[in-house]
Amino acid sequence: MCMENLRKRKVEQAFIEHYGNQPIIWVQAPGRVDLMGSHTDYNEGFVLTEAIERNTWIAARPRQDAVVRVSSQNIEGGAEFSLAVISYDEVSPWSNYIRGVAHILQIEGYSLNGFDGLIHSTIPFRSGLSSSAALEVATAMLFKTLGDLDISKLDIAIYCQRAENEFVGMECGILDQYSSAMGKEGNVLLLDCRSTTSEVVPLAPGLMVMICDTKAERELTGSEYSERRADCEKGAKALQTAFPEIKTLRDVTIDQFEAQRNNLSEVVAKRSQFVIEENQRVIDMATALEVGNFQAIGSLAKASFIGARDLYEISSPEMEAMMAAMSSAPGVIGARQAGAGFGGCMVAIIDGQKTVEFSKYVIEQYQQVTGIMAEVYQASASSGAGVLKF
C-alpha cells in the first residue's frame, strides 16, 4: 500500500472514531520553502518560493447547521464554534487559523457551511515551512468546496493572509499563503509580493532542493517579527524624504540607501540594508537557478545567510551549526536559512546525484556539534492547494 493510501486509511479511521461517519470531502494544502527572499514579502519585494510535498489534509463531512467541529491528529484537543459568532480561542489557539479564515470569508460576503473536520499534517510545526498558512489555505479550500464558492486561488491566498493579520494577529506578508495556494508542481515561483503575481522559474537539470531541519523550534515571537517590520517601515519612510517615489524598501536602490545611510539609526540601517540587498539577490538567484550557475548560487546563498545573521539578526546557534554542516557537505552548491529564521529549517541546493551523501554528512556533522538529530529530506516542488481524489 502506498504511503498516501495508508495515510488516508488512518485519517479515515480516526474520523469515523471521532464523528461516527465517514468523511466525504478531502482537501490539501502544502507547506513551502523559500530559496531566496527572507523578510522581503512584507516589504512588497520578491521571493523565490516553492510549495513542497509535505502538506496539511482536512477530511470533512458537511453539517446541516452553522457549527464547525475540528480535531487534529497532530495536536491534542479539538475545537467547536458557530459560524454565526466567531470569537478568538484562547484554549486551542491553533483553531484560530480556521476561525480567522471563516471570519474573513464571511466579511467578504461568502455564505459558509458548517462541517466536521479532521486535520492531519506532515509539515513540522514551528519549523519555518508554513504549517499555519497550509492550515488556513486548506480551510479556505474546504469552505470553497463545501459551498461551491466562486473564489479563486489567488483570492484564497489574500483572504488567508488577512485572516492571519486581522484575526490571529500576526502581521505576515503574502508569501506563505500564496505559495500554498498557487504552487506549481516541478517549478519554483518568482513571486512579486506587490502585484501578487508570479513567474515560473524552472530549476536547471541536476539541481535538487534539500530541507535541513535543525529540530530547534523557531523562537520568533510576534514582537520580534513586528519590530523588524516596523524597522523596515521606518527605513522606507526616512528614505522617502530624499526620494519621494519610494513606497517600501522594495523601491530603494543600494546607491540611494548608501547616500542616506547616515540619516538612519544603526538598527534601521541594518534592517533596511538587508532587505534591499536580499531583494536584488532574489532576482539574481532566479537567473542562476535557471541557467545552473553554481558559483552564483553558492555566493548568493552565503551572502543571504550572512546578511540574515549580521544585519537582520535572525540566526541562532543551531542555524550556525547547520550552516557549517551544509556548506561543507558533499554535493552542496548553495545553503542558507529558510523562513523567518530563529531556528527551524534551512535549505540547500545540491547536486541531485549526491542526496544520500549530503544527507548523511549533514546529519552526522550537526549531531556532533549540537547533540541534536537533524532531519534532512528532498523538497520536490509541489502543486498548490486542491481537492484530493482517491
Nearest-angstrom CA–CA distance, 142 and 147? 9
Distances (CA, A) of 330 to 125, 290, 313: 28, 22, 28
Active site residue 150: no
**Angle at the Cα of 139 from the Cα atoms of 74 and 39, rounded to 5 degrees:** 85
* Alpha helices in 151-265, H assignment, sequence order: 153-162, 175-182, 222-240, 254-260
> Which entry of 176, 213, 231, 251 is annotated as an active-site residue?
176
Nearest-angstrom CA–CA distance, 66 and 87? 14
Best CA proximity match to 390, nearest among 4, 22, 3: 4
The answer to whether 385 and 185 have CB atoms below 8 angstroms apart is no
Nearest-angstrom CA–CA distance, 287 and 225? 30
* Beta-bridge partner residues of 335: 348
Give the SS3 label for residue 93: helix
- 211 sits in which H/E element: strand 207-213
Distances (CA, A) of 70 to 8, 60, 130, 254: 17, 9, 20, 49
Nearest-angstrom CA–CA distance, 57 and 24? 13
- What residues act catalytically? 176
